Amino acid sequence: MALLEVKQLVTEFHTDDGVARALDHVSFSLERGKVLGIVGESGSGKSVTAFSLMNLVEKPGRVSGGEILFKGEDLRLASAKRWGQLRGDRIAMVFQDPMMSLNPVMRIGAQLAETVAIHSKATRAEIEQRVFEALQRVGIPAPRERMRAYPHELSGGMRQRVAIANAIINRPDLIIADEPTTALDVTIQAQILYEMKQLARASGTALIWITHDISVVKDLADEVCVMYAGRIIERGPVAQIIHAPRHPYTRGLLDALPRAGSPGKRLYAIPGATPPLLALPPGCAFAPRCGHATRACTAIPPVFEQGGREHRCFFPLG
């Protein structure tokens, strides 16, 4: 059984101007210890996916269809009490802004200790040892001193590391990381990514890594989902998708990446912009920006499965 199986998930925002379908029948699965990348431009539905999985979608939004099977249990049916058991223990999230998961007026050591104490009956000494180890594992220097610090006393990078330590401390089965390194400089990004992957491998924790930058998941993820306007338009093993994308949108994302070999060369940009959800074109939402589109693309492409990969395009690239 897959650790996580998401089937036909639909999340909608009921606004004064209409219903915005932010997730339109999103399906994917994730095995234990694997890393899934979710990639797409800003506004494609990546954070809504994470929030939907964590039961954190707030009004005017609502998860209105589909199933989220976590070890076979449908999380859409889970009670508030059940979520209290799961969240922070079996499933943890790392937000783009570390202060979303840290308490500004609580010392770091105390916060992490609380995360452990809520879910276990460990002794004070055991808890302190686990806090120390978690901070050490995310590469925080002098963890004993840092445990006494408040979040504002740390740099952005260190704060995000603490948030990650808080997510891993109970060895969850699944961590969802929503662009956790976007605000950090590239060197720290690469380092944190590498460490997270090692952690996932060593502990059997599965990881969903969300980013707008497809190059970030290139070396980290096993599989990747590419999102556009609330739909997964391509999904499969990351190496195959990067080497031979089938959806023209994925091709565009890859072509827009800066190349190490040709500095200063003008970068390709996908023409046009992402359409607002309340004004999606009929059919394939990417069609107006796509060089391959024909009249056929005014119908919504179904999911085409081929060789362990999926795409939603009538005219996939060879």
Ligand X SMILES: Nc1ncnc2c1ncn2[C@@H]1O[C@H](COP(=O)(O)OP(=O)(O)O)[C@@H](O)[C@H]1O
Number of residues that bind Mg ion (CB under 5 A): 2
Q: For residues 1 and 5, what is the distance between their CA atoms, to the nearest angstrom?
A: 9
As given in the structure block, the two tokens for residue 75 are 């999380």
Please work out, in degrees rounded to the nearest 5, the angle formed at the alpha carbon of residue 65 by the alpha carbons of 64 and 71. Answer: 120
DSSP state of 128: H
As given in the structure block, the two tokens for residue 236 are 């499969």
**Min CB(20)–ligand X separation in Å:** 5
End-to-end CA separation in angstroms for the chain: 33
Interface region with ligand X, contact rule CB under 6 A, candidates 41-49, 134-142, 239-247, 298-306: 41-49
Neighbours of 46 (CB within 10 A): 21
**Min CB(224)–ligand X separation in Å:** 14
DSSP state of 95: -
Residue 58's φ and ψ, nearest 5 degrees, are -110, 160
Residue 303 DSSP SS3 = coil
**Min CB(126)–ligand X separation in Å:** 38
Residue with Cβ nearer ligand X (167 or 226):
226
Fill in the amino acid letter for 230.
G
Interface region with ligand X, contact rule CB under 6 A, candidates 35-43, 187-195, 233-241, 255-263: 35-43
**Min CB(113)–ligand X separation in Å:** 31
State the binding string over 52-71 for ligand X (x if CB under 6 A, else -): --------xx----------
Residue with Cβ nearer ligand X (252 or 316):
252
State the binding string over 13-32 for ligand X (x if CB under 6 A, else -): x-x----x-x----------
Q: For residues 318 and 311, what is the distance between their CA atoms, to the nearest angstrom?
A: 12
Does 168 engage in binding with ligand X (CB under 6 A)? Answer: no
Bridge partners of residue 67, in order along the sequence: 7
Q: For residues 185 and 96, what is the distance between their CA atoms, to the nearest angstrom?
A: 14
**Min CB(206)–Mg ion separation in Å:** 20
**Min CB(273)–ligand X separation in Å:** 12
Q: For residues 291 and 37, what is the distance between their CA atoms, to the nearest angstrom?
A: 26
Fill in the amino acid letter for 15.
T
Number of residues that bind ligand X (CB under 6 A): 15
Please work out, in degrees rounded to the nearest 5, the angle formed at the alpha carbon of residue 113 by the alpha carbons of 107 and 115. Answer: 110
**Min CB(314)–ligand X separation in Å:** 24
Does 94 engage in binding with ligand X (CB under 6 A)? Answer: no
Which residue in the set 40, 109, 151, 157 belongs to the binding site for ligand X (CB under 6 A)?
40
Q: For residues 12 and 204, what is the distance between their CA atoms, to the nearest angstrom?
A: 33
Does 42 engage in binding with ligand X (CB under 6 A)? Answer: yes
Contact partner, 181, from ligand X, Mg ion, none, Cβ < 5-8 Å per class? none
As given in the structure block, the two tokens for residue 159 are 């704060």
State the binding string over 35-64 for Mg ion (x if CB under 5 A, else -): -----------xx-----------------
Q: Which residues would be at the binding site for Mg ion (CB under 5 A)?
A: 46-47
Q: Which residues would be at the binding site for ligand X (CB under 6 A)?
A: 13, 15, 20, 22, 40, 42-48, 60-61, 277
